[in-house]
Structure 1
């Protein structure tokens, strides 16, 4: 089975100032965000990736470029519209501190499957189109490059969190329990029986084991022997 590295874009000025950027054009990485993207690119450089797929928004394209530029080979690079940010509608461009006073805020926090942003999309619709896009690309990568292939998807916080919730078998109403920080890497393998979540929200650690270990589609009874390599910096699940 192929393995996808779900990468959130690095920090932007909007993130740092508490604005909900949404799909606003021209929102780029700030200085810290560029440093975060470079570090993530360095981590992923230890793994030959089959391709990098990105949301069309600038901050994701910039993060994707930092990853591609650090690869020894020349992985394919493409844009996927269904990995773009949630359409927050009338919430876009507003301060989070102001949005927290809206009645819809409590729904987003505790019952997101019922949340529909005014003039935008529902969170359930957001999850459905992003999960479908990831699974479609994953199947294409495995068909072309084989079951050991690793690829990268660069997207946004709510998008990646909703994809992880699906992979973990969690209801969307529980997805706010997951954290996905800027430029973090989460790791998922999709198999015939079920997805396997190897790590979430990592911002450090060696990833070279991904190019060495065989990731079986069957769950090891009793927990298995783990990776064949060990590094003190190897990422562990952080939720």
Structure 2
């Protein structure tokens, strides 16, 4: 279920200084080697690296953030006790957390509480099927009332998944804008990849290293920048729309 919260600002102080250099992992190598294709331009046959045929598939333990937001939270007895309100991606060494909503109606009201990823198990809902199954979070040790309440010091500080999804990001090598459509997170809460539209009019999506998205500093304020070179951007694997 894609229950997106407000998509105001977006991505990641948590993906901070270390992201300014080259990403540690080349996701194009995870999926498929770069494919070279011959194209004809004005009668000349040229070899290009930007014919994307690689398609990214979610690995075991990976979820789209938008699928996790709005998911049911169950206690060990299988009773639904809350919903996932958001994903706190962590910052300055703090661990990612699941933000749950205790009470409220249609994602409004109630109390927001946090649970560590290590205290929850995430699995596909056995009662659903298809490409976008619901995700169930089962609390293991804590009861809902003992979980700490969530308080956000600064809104739109790019530390919540909902703040990232739907925002625009400047592409460093071209100065053009791309749009962040979703995040791919692991069962430990790591925002591993970002699913983006390569420009504001494209219907296609590609997958890039989430650590390549940083908060811009300077006189222009805190916009987001995708720090990738042209070749890496052009060879990023596609991500099918669902």
Normalising by structure 1, report the TM-score: 0.25
The structure whose Rg is larger is 2
Normalising by structure 2, report the TM-score: 0.25
Bigger strand share: 2
